[in-house]
């Protein structure tokens, strides 16, 4: 149970209130709260106990703003992307032990990437972490000239100076999905692609490479799609109306796959009895019990750790602020659940 502030009028407790409670000076309370030297163990314990009793909490943001550094990592993310939500959670976990905080800049249908970034810059963020950015490489280089930039989940060729890249091997993930479906006996495997979304070209290439490797090049079909449930639903309807209906579908991401599942359910097409479905990301959406989606997993914790590590390395002088960008590629892993099985007997 949270302590009840023991301050007249219910106002937010201050350093002076803690000092009065502990019967010490305000300066000594400040020393304790900053974790600085100058207070004995007994005094430190008394001050911390007094702070706890009256519900005092340091205003960390105000203290940072008074200093020459903000220690804020600005994160641009897609508000409607479950995978981004999972990544943000991982970034918090990776940043806090290093003494950094996260500031969020959401991208939504009514809010552009540029608006999100400008808001983060106005918050005095020291570095930018961009999740699946779609801005041109020239724009990323422009930002990197101002502060460290880490692009997550997007291949950049060539990598702009000052921009680090942390991503999953998307092509390998698509190959794993195809290998899994072929091992179950599928031959007619369709891919619903992500258009121009980050990672889409690599996943499309990985799908085609795997199909050709299995001698199934003539069975390959790429259906235009996108990132959303609506994109997946529209693509699924087109596949159902096609002359050659696939027995398996690899969707661009989990949201797209969810749209596919909904359309198949409404059309009374059994999954996986008649058509198997594979997503990509292993977002929390895929893990819901009623969806139970087979998907290609990305290592969220590792992506987050490496991303924060690259940003902090530049900020702490462990890497040149304007040096060549570094790309780190992480291997994906297939997560098998209930939406894939052997194709129906012919």
Q: How confident is the model at residue 29 (pLDDT cuts 50, 70, 90)?
A: confident
Q: Are 42 and 78 in contact (CB under 8 A)?
A: no
3-state secondary structure (DSSP) of residue 166: strand
Task: For residue 153, give Cα distances in angstroms to 76, 83, 87, 106, 108.
Answer: 12, 10, 10, 16, 18
Whole-number pLDDT of residue 322: 58
Q: What is the pLDDT of residues 287-304, one digit of tens each?
A: 999 999 999 999 999 999
Q: How confident is the model at residue 4 (pLDDT cuts 50, 70, 90)?
A: very low
Q: Are 287 and 257 in contact (CB under 8 A)?
A: no
Angle at 88 between CA 84 and CA 91, to 5 degrees: 135
Q: What is the pLDDT of residues 138-168, one digit of tens each?
A: 899 999 989 999 999 999 887 778 899 999 9
Instruction: Give the position of tokens 């291949």.
Output: 155
More confident position, 93 or 162: 93
Q: Are 122 and 134 in contact (CB under 8 A)?
A: no
């Amino acid at each position: 149970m949270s302590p009840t502030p023991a301050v007249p009028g219910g106002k937010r407790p201050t350093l002076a209130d803690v000092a009065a409670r502990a019967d010490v000076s305000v300066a000594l309370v400040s020393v304790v709260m900053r974790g600085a030297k100058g207070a004995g163990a007994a005094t430190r314990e008394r001050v911390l106990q007094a702070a706890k009793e009256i519900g005092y909490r340091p205003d960390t943001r105000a203290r940072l703003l008074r200093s020459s550094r903000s220690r804020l990592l600005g994160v641009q993310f897609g508000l409607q992307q479950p995978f981004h939500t999972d990544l943000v959670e991982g970034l918090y976990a990776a940043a806090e032990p290093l003494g950094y905080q996260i500031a969020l800049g959401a991208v939504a249908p009514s809010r552009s990437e540029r608006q999100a970034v400008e808001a983060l810059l106005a918050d005095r963020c020291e570095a930018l972490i961009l999740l699946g950015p779609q801005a041109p490489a020239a724009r990323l280089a422009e930002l990197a000239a101002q502060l460290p930039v880490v692009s997550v989940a997007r291949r950049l060729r060539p990598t702009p100076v000052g921009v680090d890249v942390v991503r999953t091997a998307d092509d390998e993930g698509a190959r794993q999905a195809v290998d899994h479906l072929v091992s179950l006996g599928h031959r007619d495997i369709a891919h619903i692609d992500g258009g121009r979304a980050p990672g889409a070209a690599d996943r499309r290439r990985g799908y085609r490479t795997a199909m050709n490797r299995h001698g199934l090049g003539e069975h390959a079909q790429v259906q235009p799609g996108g990132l959303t449930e609506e994109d997946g639903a529209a693509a699924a309807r087109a596949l159902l109306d096609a002359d050659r209906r696939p027995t398996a579908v690899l969707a661009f991401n989990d949201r797209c796959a969810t749209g596919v599942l909904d359309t198949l359910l409404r059309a009374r097409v059994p999954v996986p009895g008649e058509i198997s479905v594979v997503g990509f990301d292993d977002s929390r959406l895929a893990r819901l019990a009623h969806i139970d989606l087979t998907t290609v997993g990305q290592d969220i914790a590792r992506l987050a750790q490496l991303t924060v590590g690259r940003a902090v390395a530049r900020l702490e002088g462990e890497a040149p602020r304007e040096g060549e960008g570094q790309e780190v590629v992480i291997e994906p892993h297939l997560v098998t659940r209930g939406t894939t099985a052997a194709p129906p007997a012919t």
